[in-house]
Amino acid sequence: MATLQMYMDRSRINNQYEDPSWKEVWGDGFGVDNSVGKIRKILVHCPGEEILQLSEGQYEEEAGARILKDSRGRIRNYLKGHDLPNLQKLQEQHNRMTDLLRQEDIEVLSFDDPTHYWTNLVFTRDIALMTPRGAVICRPAMYFHAGEPKMTQAWMTSHGIPIVGVIQGTGTMEGGSFSMLDRHTAIIGRSVRINDEGIGQLRQLLGYQGIELIVLDLPASYIHLDEAFLPVDKDKILASTFILPFWFLHRLQEKGYQIIECDRDDPMLSNNCIALSPGKVLFSDKAPRTRANLEKAGVETITVDLSEINRLGGGIHCSTLPILRDSI
């Protein structure tokens, strides 16, 4: 018997991610190893009637927002400002965004089932981190995201996408603070939503794929990295240099990146765009100064209005999760 097992050991898989059997089993319909390669597939969720539950919330001066709570006082969602959400406008803006994505020959995927109680799923970026070999399911910090990991795991499984890890226990992680800079380098922004335990778990999961994780701290008023940092071309980064640490900007320059300034006079979330392909971004129509900076640097911009979706607390990048990008 020992001889048989020694013989069988000739077919041992030493590293599942490097062995040819990985592609034989899982195929190549997923994977993200950078943030600017041509997007082939993307996951979104158009706001549905679950958003109307916000009408049951109350405006709270302390938060400057309409807050929806459950019977136990837990926050279920929020909306900036006094006014109720305009569902028709939300859907029109989201549909315009997805139309633009399809015009770029991107396959647009979505959650088909109603979200009912969980009302914040429009921001698909936060539910998972896409890596070269599959998805890491996030563990959100806030109660109003609590139902999303279950939905995300079911969706990934139904679409044949391997789950290469799950942030769990006391770890917290959300996708808006994550960026694949290149095949061997990822960045995470530590914040009120991203804690040390979550970062430690992520570092271990990425290490199995040979990916280094760079960690930087965000100011207290920023919850995600994509509010201040986004790759827009193979060698260009759009950044809010007035809040990012010098050592990080210096390291990017040492790696050969040109830093494009996000103008501080433009509205919040101006930086929250998405690269559709190298040097082409889907960008807010409310940030003319930053758009001019991008175009001066040779980056093509396609603009869209997501002003009503912005009131829910996110922008273009928050509302999109690339499932498959070309390598660069």
Residues 6+ apart with CB under 8 A from 145: 118, 120, 126, 127, 174
- Whether 156 contacts 135, CB under 8 Å: yes
Inter-residue contact 226 to 319 (CB < 8 Å): no
> pLDDT at position 76, please?
87
pLDDT of res. 114: 60
Amino acid letter, residue 240:
S
What pTM does this model have? 0.95
| pLDDT by 10s per residue, the chain, length 328 | 679 999 999 999 999 999 999 999 999 999 999 999 999 999 999 998 888 888 888 999 988 888 999 889 999 888 888 888 899 999 999 999 999 999 999 999 998 666 666 767 899 999 999 999 999 999 999 998 888 999 999 999 999 999 999 999 999 999 999 999 999 999 999 999 999 999 999 999 999 999 999 999 999 999 999 999 999 999 999 999 999 999 999 999 999 999 999 999 999 889 999 999 999 999 999 999 999 999 999 999 999 999 999 988 899 999 999 999 999 9
**What is the pLDDT, as a whole number, of residue 166?**
98
Q: What is the pLDDT of residue 324?
A: 98
DSSP secondary structure of 89-158: HHHHHHHHHHHHHHHTT-EEEE--S--TT---TT-GGGGEEEETTEEEEP--SSGGGTTHHHHHHHHHHH
How many CB atoms within 10 Å of residue 298?
12
Q: Are 78 and 159 in contact (CB under 8 A)?
A: no
Token readout for 177 is 């603070």
Q: Find out whether 177 and 193 touch, Cβ atoms under 8 Å.
A: yes
Which residue, among 201, 211, 248, has the nearest Cα to 229 in the 3D structure? 248
8 Å CB contact between 285 and 258: no
Distance CA 227, CA 218 (A): 10
Run of H or E residues at 225? none
- For residue 15 the two structure tokens come to 């590293």
Q: In order of start, what are the domains of the chain with their CATH numbers? A: 29-325 (3.75.10.10)
Per-residue model confidence (pLDDT) at position 1: 62
Cα–Cα distance between 195 and 189 in angstroms, integer? Answer: 9
